[in-house]
Amino acid sequence: MTAAAPIPDSALAREARSQADEPQSLVMRFARDEPLMMDCGAALAPWQLAYQTYGTLNEARSNAVLICHALTGDQHAANAHPVTGKPGWWSSFVGPGRPIDTDRFFVICANVIGGCMGSTGPASTDPETGRPYGLDFPLVTIRDMVRAQAMLVTKLGIDSLFCVAGGSMGGMQVLEWAALYPHRVFAAMPIAASARHSAQNIAFHEVGRQAVMADPDWRNGRYLEEDARPRKGLAVARMGAHVTYLSESALHRKFGRRLQERTAPTFSFDADFQIESYLRHQGITFVERFDANSYLYVTRAMDYFDLADEHGGKLADAFRGSPTRFFVMSFTSDWLFPTEESRAVVRALNAAGASVSFVEIESDKGHDAFLLDEPDMFAAARGFIDGAAAARGL
Amino acid sequence: MTAHQPPPLGSAGAAAPRKDHLLLAGIVEPGSRVLDVGCGDGALLALLRDRNGVDGRGIELERDNVASALARGLSVIQGDADTDLFDYPDDAFDYVVLSQTIQATRRPRAVLEEMLRIGRHAIVSFPNFGHWRVRVDLAVRGRMPVNENMPFSWYDTPNIHFCTIRDFVGLVEVVGARMERAWALDGQGEPVRLPLPWWAWNLLGEQGVFLLRRS
């Protein structure tokens, strides 16, 4: 089998590509003498983190909220996305009068290290070689992401964050923040998250990575120099992952077994069903904005995450003596990060004597519920944040 | 036995605290750590925090109640007394409170034992099924009581383990706890202050309140 000739990049993909080094957002640059010390042993320098801010930092520098994004999210939490033009991924949660109220709080959202929207990652240009890093980029962990964010927050002149919040992989970062820098986190809100990535979740990620790497246009990770893109592999990875973010009842309600623009099956492998057409669309649009190697790195970071393992196998020890106020949230229909995973975190926090609240939100929308308009989630988050703000005198 | 006189009410305009909550606020030492099991919307925990400077935590089954408690700035976990007390380490709290909830638990004995394990003290209050009105309902009308303290019909009640004050004293002996203090509350939620024998408390008290200690 010979590889097909590479398809030229669309204008959208060229735009996304240009975001990797020169993003349309704020960028914090760290020089050679400010390396990021990574879990794999690498000292990354120079490096940069792309970020956005919303609202105003108060004089006491006590009202900063750090938002941590999920696997394929980015720093554009509450503004229109520069590539897709779509609203920010958490614009219903973050903004004036929203649960994370930008009229009261100074909100920071950084793209993770290893990402492809302006933070140093495999799509960035390696200053040593002048080529994209590709697989020469060191393996990233959740803790590395958090260390990088902490260096950014320090450089912004903020010692202690009022709140660190995020869902899914963002929730993992929230837990890591609280474990690594307990005195820099007043309140922590991990949503639809877990203290470790389960075997099932690692399995799903591996299927996605294998799809990317099986694409002949992946070219051992050097596709950017060879002007190719593993579009099909990445789209398949995204399609598979997307199913895990939803629930059977949400899929059934939205699509059922309905046919797409036809009245009878074609007896072929065309996208006869609406769900097929929807998934293909999800795959194609994702490829336009996301780098395939970043997908490999960021999924790997989640796989490696095991907060208990970082603390001698005992999760409670990660939070021993923690002064942080925690609020853990899960969703009834989330089978990727089921409530039991959140309960394990709550149990550990209880055992550590930490201040913890927990709610399981009733929703049939699956894991993605934390990105959607869930009034119960908003109400609970608002209650927690307002209570914590009162305790901090904000 | 006399109850502490609760301190005078604070800000006018706020809903007046419940009488039984004020009684509990008179029992709990200032600055202590309290777990309120079945904490509802957090009214008691908020009172204990504001009046006694208590570091309070709660467990509550109903999500809406948890949200209300969160809005009061409290730490509350959505959970079930029957299963979630096992998660707490020994001696985690000074007081574990079970207010008007024991009759709704599946395993009251196990719940009480867990409370005494994770707290130095346990405080339990419950509607007294030995009250004379209950006895009249059963003896004269031949029906399960439905009143303001027990507002549910037998077929849709969350209360599956009703007991009398004397029954509860029996359970305290079974689990080997020490009874530090006990109160019978009348219909207004005021402690019956007369020095009466158990049988009279059991007849006159609409609620029983017990302060227990691990022995």
Are A89 and A117 in contact by the 8 Å Cβ rule? The answer is no
Q: Does pLDDT of B123 surpass 50?
A: yes
Cβ distance A386 to B71 less than 8 Å, yes or no, reads yes
3-class secondary-structure state, position B42: coil
Predicted local confidence at residue A123, as pLDDT: 95
- The residues facing B201 across adjacent strands are none
User: Mean of the per-residue pLDDT values for chain B?
Assistant: 89
Cβ distance B66 to A379 less than 8 Å, yes or no, reads no
**What percentage of residues in chain A have a pLDDT greater than 70?**
98
Active-site residue, A367 included: yes
Reference A387, options B45, B33, B87, B11; nearest CA is B45
Interface of B with A in 83-122 (CB under 8 A): 87-89, 92
Q: Which of A76, A81, A205, A367 is catalytic?
A: A367
- pLDDT by residue (tens digit) across B53-88? 999 999 999 999 999 999 999 999 999 999 999 989
> What angle separates helix A292-304 from helix A231-245, to the nearest 10 degrees?
40
> What angle separates helix A169-180 from helix A142-155, to the nearest 10 degrees?
70
> Phi and psi for A322 in degrees, rounded to 5?
-65, 130
Q: What is the DSSP letter of B58?
A: E
Cβ distance A387 to B77 less than 8 Å, yes or no, reads no
Q: Does pLDDT of B9 surpass 50?
A: no
Q: Which residue has the tokens 């789209």?
A: A235
Answer positive or negative: Cα dihedral of A244, A246, A252, A258.
Answer: negative
Cβ distance B70 to A380 less than 8 Å, yes or no, reads yes
Q: Does pLDDT of A365 surpass 60?
A: yes
Number of A to B CB contacts under 8 A, please give it.
66
Predicted local confidence at residue B7, as pLDDT: 36
Active-site residue, A126 included: no
Interface of B with A in 47-76 (CB under 8 A): 57, 63, 66-76
- C-alpha–C-alpha distance, residues B108 and B111, integer Å: 5
Amino acid identity, position B170: G
Predicted local confidence at residue A382, as pLDDT: 96
Q: Which of B75, B86, B114 to mutate to test the interface with A (most CBs of A within 10 A)?
A: B75
Cβ distance A360 to B88 less than 8 Å, yes or no, reads no
For the ranges A45-54, A307-316, B135-144, the lowest mean pLDDT is seen at B135-144
> What angle separates helix B63-71 from helix A375-392, to the nearest 10 degrees?
30
Exposure class string for A305-342: b at 16+ Cβ within 10 A, else e: bbbbebbeeebbbbbeebebbbbbbbbbbbbbbbbebb
Q: Do you know the residue count of chain A?
A: 394
- C-alpha–C-alpha distance, residues A111 and A227, integer Å: 25
> Phi and psi for A153 in degrees, rounded to 5?
-60, -40
Average pLDDT over residues A277-286: 94
Q: Does pLDDT of A21 surpass 50?
A: yes
More confident residue, A56 or A20: A56
- C-alpha–C-alpha distance, residues B207 and B192, integer Å: 10
Query: Hey, what are A264's tokens?
Result: 């009878």
Query: Hey, what are B169's tokens?
Result: 């004293």
Answer positive or negative: Cα dihedral of A260, A262, A264, A268.
Answer: negative
Cβ distance B70 to A359 less than 8 Å, yes or no, reads yes
Predicted local confidence at residue B14, as pLDDT: 56
Q: Which of A334, A342, A363, A368 is catalytic?
A: A334
Residue A125 neighbours by CB distance under 10 Å: 14
Average pLDDT over residues A47-64: 98
Average pLDDT over residues A250-261: 93
ipTM attached to this prediction: 0.87
Nearest beta carbon to residue A350 from set B63, B66, B87:
B87
- pLDDT by residue (tens digit) across A116-136? 999 999 999 999 999 999 999
A327 touches chain B (CB under 8 A): yes
Which band of pLDDT confidence, cut at 50, 70 and 90, is reported for residue A13? confident
Q: Does pLDDT of A101 surpass 60?
A: yes
Q: How far is CA A362 from the centre of its chain?
A: 23
Are A138 and A203 in contact by the 8 Å Cβ rule? The answer is no
User: Mean of the per-residue pLDDT values for chain A?
Assistant: 95
Are A217 and A229 in contact by the 8 Å Cβ rule? The answer is yes
- C-alpha–C-alpha distance, residues A237 and A293, integer Å: 12
Whether pTM exceeds 0.90: yes
Q: Does pLDDT of B12 surpass 70?
A: no
- The vertex-B61 CA angle with B59 and B64, nearest 5°, equals 105
- pLDDT by residue (tens digit) across A172-210? 999 999 999 999 999 999 999 999 999 999 999 999 999
What are the residue ranges of helices labelled H in B54-96?
Answer: 63-71, 81-84
A384 touches chain B (CB under 8 A): yes
